[in-house]
Chains A and B, each alone.
Chain A
């Protein structure tokens, strides 16, 4: 672009950096074109005499998250060692990118588009209002109460369409930021004076302000072990709808280990989001180690996602095989670091459910609410309940504890 005097040492350098950025991008790191320009400038400033300087100069510009450190490190090592065999490097980075799962989701949609019977549910969703009005009401009622575990594949997919249309309650939490409010208790001097000067200072009309409100963040921990298999996918779908509706939702999956799928769920298309979740978590339908998963969460994530008065949704059947003492300890810690802890347990579908399992007994004392989540009606009830802070009797964990005693 401009004729710069110290250009000689530049050579092909910018090209190589652009190439390197391309590798990082394919490895799943968000590196924009602006970052490449910055990287060239940074390297020019830092010089390339020492490898470490070069490394940290690129690092300062291209890495924006601590989690990306290992990716950057690996890419740097491979890329700047050997320039040839470059396509090979990209292949090696591929498993990190969600490329494969994306294809699958797209494929499915193409297939759906080709066969008319598969396309029907899509249209159903669009005319959702009409369906409620027409004679299918009873069908819908049946569907509302039907256990997810007993649904056919077709019913499940209809249920999923309905989950997408759940209206979430307008729950709000007071925040400390003050906003203009004519009935507020504090006087807003800035606006008061500005307004009074419009009349030349003759009339001073008091403007007021009061604390604003916002939706509290939600953190969901979803059990994806074998015993939960009928519910975890529907649960994930529910969480996708929730993420769509309110934005500040963090979702973690756990079976034998904990996986953060928040980013994957932010994808608009539900199929694509779920497919990419499935690709991220590797322990679907395996065993459960709730205690260890919670420990992992408490240690690595609780301080990062629970700080703004979050509501935690713990979705599990509580059938823990590991030491239950640890489970109680970790859940207690989780309970103390969030505003409200809601346990969604699909086992509550049985009327005769009793808190007998050791895991369940260890967990009950530490949660604020226990709710069912086995059918559409219970999910709808939860969506509404998020707005009410005071738990009612039927969801009080003490009820199950006293029954067990």
Chain B
């Protein structure tokens, strides 16, 4: 097959997938590597669900960077329609073309075929993803699908089923090589089962201590080791609390960067209370932690760490 070169760029085993992801700075666990590997191997879309800030979107970015593919991102929102997801015509240019045609007296048949040609087509992410690409099939990231409405979901289902779309004026566009599709959802509503059935499903959970520490070390290299351990230990402790919104990995990283900027070498209760807004995003959650409580939690998290080692 003529696509051999591209297929070889895709990892050949789960171990290789794990290596590929970590070479892109993504510290994945074995479970995630397995699904990513399967999605690449079986050519199926990957549906990633999980709380906000656990690194769903990052998977697509890292895949595109490490595989050297183009990243096409479709951010979903309510009311997203075909015109902004698939294609749109360049109306202004078309109008001018019609005016010119009128003055030159071109006949109707020809005008129609001229007006609706590739020249006036504005390609949006979904159509781009189906078009051939010399670098190999692109990575299509459909981000936060739960924000789009059901109508768009149904349309996406159709696209993901056979990787082809029909433009009435132009004809059918079919992908020669199916794109690598990553769909993410924060679960602000349930995505329909029919769509999930087409995809491989994976729930990304909060990372374990060891993995989160590895993530912080990889992403915020300036953070002193003691500080990183303190931060991760404390965040892990925070997630055990009864919070309205538990902090994600993204918050941990933000916090680490913030503390590095503040030249911190280790966590202290006063420092935590000053910067808690970076980790907790709801006022109700923030006010629950007064100074003594923070001290207690910091002690607990350090004790828990000692116990593990």
| Residues of chain A at the chain B interface (Cβ within 8 Å) | 30, 32, 34-35, 38, 41-42, 45-47, 52-53, 56-57, 59-61, 63-66, 69, 175-178, 189-190, 193-194, 196-197, 200-202, 298-299, 303-305, 307-308, 329, 333
Contacts and interface: CB of A to CB of B under 8 A. Distances in A.
Taking chain B's interface residues, is the majority helix, strand, or loop, or is none over half, making it mixed?
Answer: helix
A59 to B, nearest CB: 8
B200 interface: yes
A307 B150 CA distance: 13
Interface string B7-35: 00000011000000000000000110011
B30 A56 contact: yes
Contacts of A56: 30-31, 34-35
A397 B78 CA distance: 33
B81 A61 contact: no
Interface string B33-44: 011011101101
B111 interface: yes
A137 to B, nearest CB: 42
Interface residues of B, number: 50
- Max chain A Cβ within 10 angstroms of own Cβ: one of B34, B111, B187: B34
Contacts of B212: none
A35 B197 contact: yes
Interface stretch (B94-102, B221-229, B264-272): B94-102
A46 B89 CA distance: 44
B34 A202 contact: no
A175 B186 CA distance: 21
A45 B91 CA distance: 48
A303 B112 CA distance: 48
30 contacts: A42-B38, A45-B41, A45-B42, A46-B14, A52-B31, A56-B34, A57-B34, A60-B38, A60-B39, A60-B201, A61-B200, A64-B196, A177-B81, A189-B91, A190-B83, A190-B88, A190-B91, A193-B89, A193-B95, A194-B169, A200-B108, A201-B101, A201-B111, A298-B244, A299-B244, A303-B186, A304-B188, A307-B146, A308-B78, A308-B149
Given A52-B34, A60-B35, 9 more contacts: A47-B13, A53-B14, A61-B201, A176-B79, A177-B79, A189-B89, A189-B91, A303-B187, A304-B189
B201 A45 contact: no
Contacts of A298: 244
A178 B81 CA distance: 8
Interface of B: 13-14, 30-31, 34-35, 37-39, 41-42, 44, 49, 77-79, 81, 83, 88-89, 91, 94-95, 98, 101-102, 107-108, 111-112, 115, 146, 149, 151, 169, 186-190, 193, 196-197, 200-203, 242, 244, 284
Contacts of B101: 201
A329 B285 CA distance: 13
A66 B91 contact: no
Contacts of A41: 42
Q: Which 4 A-B pairs have the closest CB atoms?
A: A176-B79, A56-B34, A307-B188, A201-B98
Nearest to A189: B91
Nearest to A32: B197
B168 to A, nearest CB: 8
Nearest to B82: A190
B196 to A, nearest CB: 4
A70 B280 CA distance: 29
B284 A333 contact: yes
Contacts of A53: 14, 30, 34
A333 B245 CA distance: 13
A18 to B, nearest CB: 17
A190 B83 CA distance: 9
B103 to A, nearest CB: 11
Contacts of A175: 78-79, 149
B181 to A, nearest CB: 14
A66 B112 CA distance: 50
B104 to A, nearest CB: 12
Contacts of A35: 197
Contacts of B196: 64-65
